[in-house]
Amino acid sequence: MTLPENDTRTPVPAVARRAVLAGAGVAAVGAVAACGGGATTDDTEQQQAGDVPQGAPGTVLGPASEVPVGGGKIYSEAQIVVTQPAAGQFTGLSTICTHAGCTVNAVADGAIVCPCHQSRFGLDGAVVQGPATQPLPQRPVTVADGSIALA
């Protein structure tokens, strides 16, 4: 880029401008991915609602003592939430919300909560509050020697 002799602005090379614009695009994609993209209408980057992620049977999630009675614990990497509705009764559920594919991110007041549109699921995965209409898919788990593992 060439400026007239009396122009004091600093020219910005076209290549540098393109790099900045490309970086902005990457940042925007990252923001969508971080929120699970549930608020968008483009499902190409989302899990499909109801998809059940795979995990190798026997994969240890953690100690059963981490799962409170009347609550649950989210294992983000395995995309599974394990609940304990009653002492010694463990239930594994997918963390992928059946409404639009966001990832549930909390277990509070006896419910599993999706941050995208505030669907709430019971500790058995049943819909307590929409907009979701389908329960969270079951993800069987086993408990042995105080550890929870994928079945």
User: Which residues of this chain interact with ligand FES, rule CB under 6 A?
Assistant: 38, 97, 99-100, 102, 114, 116-117, 119, 131-132
Minimum gap (Å) between residue 102 Cβ and ligand FES? 4
The whole-angstrom separation of Cα 37 and Cα 16 is 29
List, in sequence order, every beta strand (DSSP E) within the chain. Answer: 60-63, 71-75, 80-86, 89-94, 106-108, 111-113, 120-121, 127-129, 141-144, 147-150
Nearer to ligand FES by Cβ, of 97 and 107: the residue is 97
Q: How far is the CB of 41 from ligand FES (least distance, A)?
A: 12
Minimum gap (Å) between residue 42 Cβ and ligand FES: 14
Q: Give the residue with the Cβ less far from ligand FES, 134 or 147.
A: 134
